[in-house]
């Protein structure tokens, strides 16, 4: 069994719950049926109940990419991935224009969202069904952006290759750069990022200690395909496994700045800076 490498189980604490609620997000569990007895769920987060967002940020979390959220009184109180960078910092991404949709793995997936599934046409179809349900409920949405982190960048890379017209762009954070490293994912071996015809951006910590997500690898990919790379520097209170959510791999201490940069990309379609260091 693989080591717990990507933003894994993090039991909720009062401080984390306060951090999630301090901006008073309005959250709803969205669910669609995939086949008999199987559901695709996600958590929609809005600035307030009357929000009319124009952009939807589709959040594709890291290992094991199984969220199993609990939503009570219009807030996600806990999940199996509370510590994941994109989930714990989502409040910094949301504004009057931008809503987020945390993507779970289908209800029959077990404890892990397999990498082969995340690269598949079926993953695209399952996510799209949930996204279209959100668009149906919120017709103000004009653009849909994919945001993956760590193992979730398998999805942020493959999904837009199937039906790119659905999405306005895709953002890969702490992306898998070393598919042949121990415990890594072969699906991204020799992946051709030119197959992604929509705008794409990479965000990576200069000192990412995870052997599967090296900064030099991110440089190599972005140089080869002439794609924008935003380099993150600094942070604080690093702890745990190098490939987990609270090392530089998970942008610990730089969550707000990284999310602001993502929001800027989503709102403008371009990166206004190439280094985040304050």
Q: Is 155 among the domain residues?
A: yes
Q: Is 8 among the domain residues?
A: no
Domain count, the chain: 1
Q: Is 260 among the domain residues?
A: yes
Bigger pLDDT: 21 or 103?
A: 103
For the chain, first and last CA: distance in Å? 38
Q: Is 247 among the domain residues?
A: yes
State residue 23's pLDDT score: 61
- pLDDT tens-digit map of 226-270: 999 999 999 999 999 999 999 999 999 999 999 999 999 999 999
Q: Is 168 among the domain residues?
A: yes
pLDDT surpassing 60 at residue 11: no
Domain containing 95 — which CATH number?
3.40.50.1820
Range of the domain at 144: 14-276
pLDDT surpassing 60 at residue 92: yes
- Residue 70 has, within 13 A of its CA and on its CB side, a CA count of 9
Q: Is 201 among the domain residues?
A: yes
Q: Is 5 among the domain residues?
A: no
Which tokens is 100 given? 């987020």
Q: Is 63 among the domain residues?
A: yes
> What is the spatial distance between Cα 56 and Cα 266, in angstroms, rounded to a whole number?
9
pTM of the model: 0.91
> What is the spatial distance between Cα 48 and Cα 175, in angstroms, rounded to a whole number?
31
């Amino acid at each position: 069994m693989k080591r717990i490498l990507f933003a894994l189980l993090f039991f909720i604490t009062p401080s984390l719950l306060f951090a999630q609620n301090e901006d008073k997000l309005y959250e709803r569990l969205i669910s669609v049926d995939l086949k008999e007895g199987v559901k695709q769920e996600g958590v929609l987060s809005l600035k307030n109940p009357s929000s009319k967002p124009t952009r939807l940020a589709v959040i594709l979390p890291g290992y094991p990419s199984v969220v199993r959220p609990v939503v009570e009184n219009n807030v996600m109180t806990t999940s199996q991935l509370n510590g994941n960078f994109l989930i714990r910092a989502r409040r910094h991404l949301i504004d009057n224009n931008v809503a987020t949709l945390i993507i779970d793995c289908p209800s029959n997936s077990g404890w892990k969202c397999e990498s082969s599934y995340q690269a598949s046409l079926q993953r695209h179809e399952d996510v799209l069904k949930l996204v279209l349900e959100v668009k149906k409920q919120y017709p103000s949405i004009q653009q849909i952006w994919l945001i993956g982190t760590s193992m979730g960048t398998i999805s942020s890379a493959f999904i837009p290759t199937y039906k790119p017209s659905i999405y306005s762009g895709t953002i890969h954070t702490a992306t898998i750069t070393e598919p042949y490293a121990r415990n890594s994912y072969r699906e991204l071996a020799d992946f051709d990022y030119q197959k992604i015809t929509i705008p794409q951006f990479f965000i990576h910590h200069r000192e990412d200690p995870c052997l599967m997500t090296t900064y030099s690898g991110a440089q190599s990919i972005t140089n080869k395909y002439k794609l924008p790379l935003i380099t993150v520097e600094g942070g604080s209170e690093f702890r745990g496994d190098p490939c987990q959510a609270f090392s530089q791999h998970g942008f610990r201490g730089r969550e707000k700045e990284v999310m602001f940069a993502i929001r800027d990309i989503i709102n403008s379609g371009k990166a206004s800076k190439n280094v985040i260091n304050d």
